[in-house]
Structure 1
Amino acid sequence: MKKVPKKLLLLSSSLLVGLSLTAGAEDKKVHQGLLDKYQPEKISGHVYVIHGPMGYPDKENQGFMNNPGFIVTDKEVAVIDPGSSSAIGRAVLAHIRKITDKPITQVFTTHVHGDHWLGNQAFQEENPDVKFYAHPAMIEEAKNGAAEEWIGTMDSMTEKATEGTQAIIPTEALTDGQSFDLGGLTLKAHLIEGKAHTDTDVMFEVPEEKVLFTGDTINNKRIVRMDDGSFAGGIKAADYALTLGVDKIVPGHGHTGSKNVLTYYRDYLNKVYSSVKDLREQDMEAFEMKPKIEEKLTDYKDWQGLDEELGKHISLSVLEAEQEDF
């Protein structure tokens, strides 16, 4: 029998995935915009990232705003942060199937915020035996209400564009330094001690290819909410990441870059937090601090989310600095 070229096999596989995803339209919605407008970028020999848009979840982007990543080896595929809805997860899956027909065996979550992991559902649909990994605190928080809260938040912010998503909560609790053999490549989990962006943060390193997935602990040209985090903890986490032997940084939001991405985001956190502590000593209130702190952030004036988040970041920094005094 004549051997079928691998490219044709992959094409057939992707067509079958497409057919299965469109069957039962209501139950199997796919984020068509992600499929049409965003493509996986190969950032190293085996690592791909789909760089999402920078805005907040809304009806137009249908909740797509993060950077889903995946690692393809000769043996299997591992996925990191597949996005904020089942439809987004199915689009990520379809992109993967255009590249490889290898089994997707493991899905990893960087933190509890649902815009990063509610796409899990698509991968359980394809492979009921896939394993979902996360920080133990993420698993507990998700079980204790965070999962349903994020389902509701995404549904509300997108005007029901994410409706029908089920929260597939990870069941496999990671430990710090835990390594996974992906068939010639290693994936190593770095659990962040205490709070950084949240108290559930994990960074994932691919040592052989010097790649680091940071989740929202680090972002590039995007200022994110810090309601669940710590500025001092975020600075510490960035300093830790700088000690690792990596040279490609995949942030939670924004484009992949060099180690400068770590330094630049750390410096934003540090400028806000250190300025707040200095201005507190002058007995200034939070609202009085903003103009002075803005003067120190001219390098970040074009960053998405600065106008929306800076005032809140100053207020949160004041509270954190007050807690340091006790």
Structure 2
Amino acid sequence: MKKTLVSLSVGVFWGSMVSSAWGEDKKVHQDLLDTYKPEQVSEHVYVIHGPMGYPDKQNQGFMNNPGFIVTDKEVVVIDPGSSSAIGRAVLAHIRKISDKPINKVLTTHVHGDHWLGNQAFQEENPEVKFYAHPAMIEEAKNGAAEEWIGTMNSMTDNATEGTEAIIPTEALADGQTFELDGLTLKAHVIDGKAHTDTDVMFEVPEEKVLFTGDTINNKRIVRMDDGSFAGGVKAAEYALGLDVDKIVPGHGHTGSRNVLTYYRDYLGKVYNSVKAMREDMEAHEMKPKIEAQLADYKDWAGYNEELGKHISLSVLEAEQEDF
């Protein structure tokens, strides 16, 4: 009980510190601050593992895995979340661990639940640089940013209201590296579509850590409306070719290389089954047969909501493959 009271006191203290630092009109995601703590997955890498659900009023849009790399000279942030309030809570967690400057914030793909937290880091440091896939930058400028602002507001009953879209300006190149005080951070820009056509994975080779974004997920089935099942399998195979053993997925807990294999196999089983059946069956007729191959995934978050859509999307992708 004493330990719990101390933890609550620390949370309240930091909440008041954050509110004071940003002013009363700057919202902070208090539950993220109090309940979701950074986990150290390697010597220099930390991840805040978010909840598995869809954005809603209760989670206030927090449902991804913000990560950060701490060195003696700087901190680098990856995917700071879906609102300014979430970004401020992530920043407050970082400041409990390090007071070093944050000069770089990196985005894995265009979906706003991963990058609309950028605002908090610009508030702290107006000179911070935001990096992303070149196609992500263009899509965000051409309407995706405002669309995601609206989507998050709608899904959370305006809990994310006040968030401004701070669109990345620094276009990443495949193989681009950042030297971080004895560590290397390497960008793997995915060629073509995987989860989207804007995907980047980030590797810390010295610690064998890979941030995959939503290209790979763990115990979470995500929407594929903007993606490719064949491309997702290809991206997973690429990741399996890297010398990494700690996988930070877009959603779900950090795990071993098995995380890559399981998610690759889900995408492959859905897509290859559809290709084999589509000449003789409609999408709804395929579903029971495909489900029989997916027993290992039935308890994954999002399975019931997404599988039917995934089958229909796979049918469309297979048809396009014929042309």
- What is the aligned-residue RMSD (CA, Å)? 1.4
Match in the other structure for 2:281: 284
User: Would you say 1:307 and 2:300 are equivalent positions?
Assistant: no
Structure 2 matches for 1:76-95, cutoff 5 A? 76-95=74-93
Paired residues of 1:21 and 1:90 also in contact (CA < 8 A): no
Match in the other structure for 1:323: 320
Match in the other structure for 1:61: 59
Gaps of 5+ in 1: 1-12
1:181/1:16 Cα in 2 relative to 1: closer, same or farther (>3 Å)?
A: farther
List per-residue Cα deviations over 1:155-204 (Å, max 9, x = no partner). Answer: 00000000000000000000000000111111100000000000000000
CA distance in 2, matches of 1:225, 1:44: 29
Structure 2 matches for 1:105-116, cutoff 5 A? 105-116=103-114
List per-residue Cα deviations over 1:259-309 (Å, max 9, x = no partner). Answer: 00000000000000000001113x101111111101110000100000000
- The Cα shift of 1:18 comes to 2.0
Match in the other structure for 2:225: 227
Match in the other structure for 1:180: 178
1:295/1:114 Cα in 2 relative to 1: closer, same or farther (>3 Å)?
A: same
CA distance in 2, matches of 1:80, 1:259: 20
Taking structure 1 as the reference length, the TM-score comes to: 0.94
CA distance in 1, matches of 2:313, 2:229: 9
Taking structure 2 as the reference length, the TM-score comes to: 0.95
- The Cα shift of 1:16 comes to 8.9
SS of the counterpart of 1:162?
A: coil
Residue among 260, 263, 266 paired with 1:265: 263
Paired residues of 1:22 and 1:30 also in contact (CA < 8 A): no
List per-residue Cα deviations over 1:110-145 (Å, max 9, x = no partner). Answer: 000000000000000000000000000000000000
CA distance in 2, matches of 1:245, 1:105: 27
Please tell me the residue identity of whatever aligns with 1:266. R
Please tell me the residue identity of whatever aligns with 1:253. H
Gaps of 5+ in 2: 1-12
Paired residues of 2:18 and 2:28 also in contact (CA < 8 A): no
CA distance in 1, matches of 2:205, 2:62: 28
SS of the counterpart of 2:103?
A: strand
Paired residues of 2:72 and 2:100 also in contact (CA < 8 A): yes
Paired residues of 2:58 and 2:156 also in contact (CA < 8 A): yes
Structure 2 matches for 1:38-187, cutoff 5 A? 38-187=36-185
- The Cα shift of 1:20 comes to 3.7
- The Cα shift of 1:14 comes to 6.3
Paired residues of 2:15 and 2:33 also in contact (CA < 8 A): no
CA distance in 2, matches of 1:183, 1:94: 23
1:107/1:137 Cα in 2 relative to 1: closer, same or farther (>3 Å)?
A: same
Stretches of 4+ aligned residues off by more than 4 angstroms: 13-17
SS of the counterpart of 2:186?
A: strand
CA distance in 2, matches of 1:286, 1:123: 45
List per-residue Cα deviations over 1:82-137 (Å, max 9, x = no partner). Answer: 00000000000000000010001100000000000000000000000000000000
